[in-house]
Amino acid sequence: MKANSILKSTIILTFATFVIKALGLIKQSVLAAYCGATKETDAFFIATGILTQLCVVIFSAISISLLTIHTNTLVKEGREKSNELMNGVLRIFLPISLGISLIFFLGAPVAAKIFAPAYEGDELEILARYIRIMSCAFVMWCYYLIVNVILETDKRFLSGRGQAFFQNVFIILGTIFLYQKYGIQVLTYGFLLSGLAECVLVTWCARKELKFIFRKISIASETKELMKLSIPLIIGNAIYEINDIVDKQISTGLGSGNVSYLTYGGTVNEIVTGGVVSAVSVVLFSHFATWVAEGNSDQVKDSILNVLECLSLVIFPIMVTCILAGDQMVAILYGRGNFNAEDVSYTYGVVVGYAVGFVFQAMRANLIRAFYAFQDTKRPMINGALAIGLNIILSIVLSRLIGVAGIAVATSSAMLVSTILLIKDVKHFLPDFSLRGIAGELGKGLLAASMDAMVLYGLRQILHGNLYLSFVTEGIIVVITYIFILLLLKSRWATDVTRRILNKVNPKNR
């Protein structure tokens, strides 16, 4: 029953995430066509990207730690006590978020110089203005990420994806109808409006569980435990944020437009890591927390191995397509209006750089959730520090050799190192954990992907017609060929998927 619940939740959330990511692609495509890759788009992506990530750095760390505590409180002490916990946490962190907002509002020029040291004059002034507009995002992100813990504890995940949906819709509409008159600045308000809409949404969805309390609440022990868990996680997330800031700093030094290339190319990376991986990890983390509270560690171990196997086998053909046909993908998504052939070429390099690390990002995202479920945030923090240190060094070196694509390659390399270290460290909680049980399936997947790559390369030499038709044809053949090769190799995953599909098409086969 639990397995069916996890599968159902994952499928629903994955579908919803793909819809949102599709809107995200449309958003980026519209931005590229209307706005191109300029110093204004660079400033927009820096301000909205870094400040949004800072919001997530601080308050997703709080929400991740809070979910395990809230789950334990709900299971052992009931809804009334868990409601007191949520009210107490909001009372503590909403004033903190307001203080952070004031710091960025008043210190916008200083923040702009830190985020983009290569900027001067008008560029710096534009970025500071966007940072000042975005500064109040901290309050909204704090509120909705904390309240969303209630929904995720109850295994309701869709509402937490609302902010991304609202953001995409508002920016698409703002770009089409308001950009020509008001410029990029108006789009920053789209970000803020999406945060406000998400606050309203999660409040409405949690209205039966969240009752605001105005009397004195005593949650000293829970607060102490929350801070104990959250501080290492915040530090770890901050390290990643420093890495992102460094990446953007490096890209600003490569010339105008390179921040935009990194962002546009990163969108394809987000489809895979956000559309598939994030949806799975969000669902599993909630269940991990419950299993750990119940003392069922074996269920955690088995679920991680199953997920790593399935995600890797799904990602292999996507990785092949991005590497060998990523130029077509970028041309389809962005190659129009003010986005020229040179812009497509630079963005394609970023797509390839991220694609080689898809599998490692998928593994890391799910492994790290196991640590959080066991209320260990220190090991992920140390792991992140080592990986990000490597990432920064490689970004500096590789960007000088191959330009902005080197920054993406550095990220993928760091994810590889991080994943290896996490596999070693997770044995502290799951002593029997080993990839040997899925090594055979992963080997078959790699072999199938290699043969698939040769097929795709051959297709690229033959198909020279309509860009859209060629890409769709290549994609269909890649998927069919990959599954066919896996079936020839007697992959249990491919056999199981095929059987499930046939059973759905013809229930008499059951």
Q: Which domain holds residue 52?
A: 38-252
**Measured CA distances, 378 to 104, 230, 416, 421 (Å):** 28, 10, 20, 13
Instruction: Give the whole-angstrom CA distance, residue 409 versus residue 469.
Output: 30
* pLDDT at res. 147: 94
Looking up tokens 């560029």 gives 123
Percentage of the chain with pLDDT > 70?
86
Tally the domains of the chain: 1
Predicted confidence (pLDDT) at residue 30 exceeds the cutoff of 50: yes
* pLDDT at res. 284: 56
Q: How sure is the predictor about 173, in pLDDT bands with cuts at 50, 70 and 90?
A: very high
Report yes or no on 81 lying in a domain: yes
Predicted confidence (pLDDT) at residue 362 exceeds the cutoff of 70: yes
Report yes or no on 130 lying in a domain: yes
CB 328 within 8 A of CB 320: no
* pLDDT at res. 134: 94
For residue range 179-211, what is the model confidence (pLDDT) as tens digits? 888 888 888 998 899 999 999 999 999 999 999
For residue range 60-112, what is the model confidence (pLDDT) as tens digits? 878 877 888 888 888 888 888 888 889 988 998 999 999 999 999 999 999 99
Report yes or no on 507 lying in a domain: no
CB 437 within 8 A of CB 430: no
Q: Which of 279, 203, 236, 255 is nearest to 58 (CA)?
A: 236
- Lowest mean pLDDT segment, chosen from 16-30, 160-174, 228-242, 381-395: 228-242
The structure's pTM equals 0.68
Helix/strand/coil (H/E/C) assignment for every residue in 116-150 = CCCCCCHHHHHHHHHHHHHCCHHHHHHHHHHHHHH
Mean pLDDT for the stretch of residues 311-317: 87
Instruction: Give the whole-angstrom CA distance, residue 301 versus residue 374.
Output: 12
For residue range 99-119, what is the model confidence (pLDDT) as tens digits? 999 999 999 999 998 888 777
Predicted confidence (pLDDT) at residue 1 exceeds the cutoff of 50: no
Instruction: Give the whole-angstrom CA distance, residue 300 versus residue 427.
Output: 12
String of DSSP letters for 206-249:
TTTT-----S----HHHHHHHHHHHHHHHHHHHHHHHHHHHHHH
Instruction: Give the whole-angstrom CA distance, residue 97 versus residue 93.
Output: 6
For residue range 405-430, what is the model confidence (pLDDT) as tens digits? 999 999 889 889 988 998 888 888 88
17 or 23, which is more confident: 23
Instruction: Give the whole-angstrom CA distance, residue 375 versus residue 364.
Output: 17
For residue range 117-166, what is the model confidence (pLDDT) as tens digits? 777 888 899 999 999 999 999 999 999 999 999 998 887 877 877 888 89
Report yes or no on 366 lying in a domain: no
Report yes or no on 201 lying in a domain: yes
H/E stretch holding 303:
helix 297-334
For residue range 252-310, what is the model confidence (pLDDT) as tens digits? 778 777 888 888 888 777 776 666 565 555 555 556 666 666 667 777 777 788 888 88
b/e sequence 209-227, b meaning 16+ C-beta within 10 Å: bbeeeeeebebeebbebbe
Report yes or no on 168 lying in a domain: yes
Report yes or no on 233 lying in a domain: yes
Mean pLDDT for the stretch of residues 308-313: 84
Q: Which of 336, 332, 357, 331 is nearest to 346 (CA)?
A: 331
Instruction: Give the whole-angstrom CA distance, residue 305 versus residue 435.
Output: 7
Report yes or no on 124 lying in a domain: yes
Instruction: Give the whole-angstrom CA distance, residue 136 versus residue 121.
Output: 25
Q: Which of 102, 24, 98, 112 is nearest to 59 (CA)?
A: 98
Mean pLDDT for the chain overall = 82
